[in-house]
Structure 1
Amino acid sequence: MFRRMRFNSFNSSNISVKRRTAVGATDFLRRDDKMAALLPAIERMAALQKDCATALPAMFKYCEILQFEDNQLVLSTPNAALAAKLKQQLPKLQETLARRGWQVHGVKLKVQMMKAAEVKEQMRALFLNEAAISAFDSLSDSLEQSAQNATLIAALKAMVARRREG
């Protein structure tokens, strides 16, 4: 009645895992004539992006090349502040690219979010030894029981409880 459907001919006892690499991707793209025609342009843009990142590594962490035609380079920046800083560094960028063989006569900046910029820094975990925890515990016990101190006392007791649990 029901026929078993097989979607792939994969033998679980004979699995060979191949790592996917950039070389594997380019080999795949070279097999298709239409995709193979795009490879030189892709490689050229990747080389230009790499040279820009080498010239200004801190700036190009979140910047990308949008276009490079007629010796005009168009870059994307995630915000106006980075665009202003990058604008000051454009002569250095153009000079470095010229030394590497790129003829860049002009650079335009477009503010648009391309990569997710992680702005928030990770917080460090604060370590308190047992003497410090005991001092906070005794402080919470010694404070006057009033409406003004109630939230402070509750916060100190909660912190002491968390530190003693973990």
Structure 2
Amino acid sequence: MAAVAEFDGDLGCIAAARHRAARFLSRARTEHGVAVSARALDLTRLVVSEMVTNACKYAPGPLRMDLRIIGGPTEDPRIEISVWDSVPIPPVVRAAEPRRVGQHGLEIVLAVAESFEIRPEPTGKWVTVRIALEDSEETGPGEEADRPCARTRRPGPRCRQRADGHPETPRASATADCD
């Protein structure tokens, strides 16, 4: 199952692309029986927003979004999201900086996508990510995902995540250690 959407590159296309991706996953679920978790739908909306925002912000002119369901009877289903824009220069992956205002889009995409690929072309580039459509044991609803601390970004000891996605710290102190 696949879909293509072309946009003129104005800021209004961000919401339109997000809506198009949500409709695509809804059709995959209802018409083709593809298992799509609520988490996968939310992550798809987030990733599409970030990818299309970057294309609108850094590449003038039209853009294209390709959506595809991949996987099969022996492989878990995934959505492959590809966005083409008119600038062949790859985006710069910046180091995490919690105090920086803005410019966290690519950082977010890299954190939630299973794979990330940039394919430059003479007239632009394709940025492609894949997201699992079913929850795994690590990311299922109500489960604590094994991920770096959301506050310190350090590997090793993990913070628990509250339902709103913020780190749950063991003490009220802003400098509380992670558990």
Normalising by the residue count of structure 2, what TM-score does the alignment of the two structures yield? Answer: 0.27
Per chain length, whose mean CA-contact separation is higher, i.e. which structure has more relative contact order (CA < 8 Å, sep 6+)? Answer: 2
Relative to its length, the structure with more helix (as a share) is 1
Normalising by the residue count of structure 1, what TM-score does the alignment of the two structures yield? Answer: 0.28
Structure number with larger C-alpha Rg: 1
Relative to its length, the structure with more strand (as a share) is 2
